[in-house]
Amino acid sequence: MSAKETIIACAFQDNFLRKGDICSASQKLLENFRPPLSATAVERLEANGITLVENTDEASFTLSTDTAPRKELINIKPTFGAISRFGVATQTSSLETVGCYAKTLDSLKPLMKIMAGKDPKDSTSLPENVFELTPNPIKIIGTLKDSPAPSGTIEKLKNLGYEIHEVNLPNAKFAEAVREIIASAEAIGNTACLDGVRYGTRASENSIAALYGTSRAEGLSAETKNKILLGNYIISHENYDKYFLKAARIRTLIINDLRKVFDEVDCLLGSPLPALAPLSGLPSATFSDSLTIIGRHKEDVALLDLIEKMEVK
């Protein structure tokens, strides 16, 4: 069954550009911005007859770059680069991917397959469509002692025939702090154009400095301003080595830890594991109870197959 036959409507966060429609990226400064082009993911969905709506209550699926769990929804994030981010307003270039919130996985595979694939407009996009690759079936599932999955979930997986192994990620405890440092540092460059001159509503001031300052003070959200302030502090001359460079090195250690773990297991299960997938670029699924499953690089189909089996009552 195709995605067109099964999906009633697909919503998208307002950081996805759609030609002619307002794209505010949750910033007052962009409340009247109408982009001259559409995001690649949006174009590919529309070209395949998928109806796009702004109201998420009307949608079967929601495109997103957010990783936070939502009530009664599954958050699927593909391998980094699997889906083009061209035309998506991002704050953290190395952490964000185009994913999807959904109530069920009935037609998620064809939906992701439509959006995935090489995009010459995005240099980080992968050369192949990961949703067309033959999956290596998941047989062994790893769990972390410090982030255990619910006992009921473990028993269900055992009953489905999966082996459960406890594994160790010694640097996982730093993941959340590392993500926050890197995200704040990257937000500086990605939001620099939101100044009221190149993009957004322009404040009425007599000097360039005042124009920039007032436009950003009035137009950017509190969360964005906090990231910019923290990011400038982190990458300052006095603190660059102390915070950003150290975070980048620990990120590499976390990635190396995950590579070792995936020599032993086929996927990782925990509750929660919020920052590991964004830092490593691995595919993941997060459920409303914060239960997270992380798969191997480019093994997105195998991850979805596992989730489908878990959903069977």
Do 144 and 68 belong together in one domain?
yes
236 and 103 inside one domain: no
99 and 58 share one domain: yes
pLDDT tens-digit readout, 162-216: 999 999 999 999 999 999 999 999 999 999 888 888 878 888 888 989 999 999 9
pLDDT band of 13, cuts 50, 70, 90: confident
Least confident span in 74-83, 103-112, 150-159, 260-269:
103-112
Q: What is the pTM of this model?
A: 0.90
Confidence tier at 288 by pLDDT (50, 70, 90): confident
Asked if the model's pLDDT at residue 237 lies above 60, the reply is yes
pLDDT over 70 for what percent of the chain? 92
pLDDT at 103: 76
Range of the domain at 242: 175-247
What is the arithmetic mean of pLDDT over 37-42?
95
- More confident position, 115 or 147: 115
Task: Please check whether residues 230 and 119 belong to one and the same domain.
Answer: no
Q: Among 247, 269, 285, give the residue marking a domain's end.
A: 247
Which pLDDT tens digit goes with each residue over 111-132?
899 999 999 999 999 999 999 9
Number of structural domains in the chain = 2
- Based on the domain organization, do 185 and 169 belong to the same domain? no
Mean pLDDT score, 256-276 = 93
Same domain? For 101 and 206 the reply is no
Is the domain of 222 the same as that of 262?
no
The 3-class SS string of 93-159 reads CCCCCCEEEECCCCCHHHHHHHHECCCCCCCCCCCCCHHHCCCCCCCEEEEECCCCCCHHHHHHHHH
What residues does 12 pair with on adjacent strands?
63
The widest CA-to-CA distance across the chain, in whole angstroms, is 70
Least reliable range by pLDDT among 46-60, 212-226, 258-272: 46-60
The average pLDDT across 67-82 equals 82
At residue 52 the predicted structure's pLDDT band, cuts being 50, 70 and 90, is confident
The residues with which 286 forms a beta bridge, in sequence order, are: 75, 292
Q: Are residues 219 and 111 in the same domain?
A: no
Average pLDDT on 39-48 reads 94
Q: Report pLDDT for 219.
A: 92
One domain for residues 144 and 74: yes
As a whole-number percent, the residues of the chain with pLDDT over 90 amount to: 64
Which amino acid is located at 43 in the chain? Answer: E
Give me the mean pLDDT over the 140-161 stretch: 92
Residues 65 and 82 in one domain: yes
The stretch 134-159 carries a mean pLDDT of 93
pLDDT for residue 51 is more than 90: no
pLDDT at residue 3, rounded to an integer:
53
Least confident range of 17-31, 77-91, 102-116, 159-173:
102-116
18 pLDDT more than 60: yes
Last residue of a domain, one of 219, 247, 275: 247
Same domain, 103 and 163: yes
Give the CATH number for residue 57. 3.90.1300.10
What's the confidence (pLDDT) of residue 61? Answer: 65
Q: Which of 230, 247, 264 corresponds to the end of one domain?
A: 247
Confidence (pLDDT) at 1? 44
Residues 254 and 243 in one domain: no
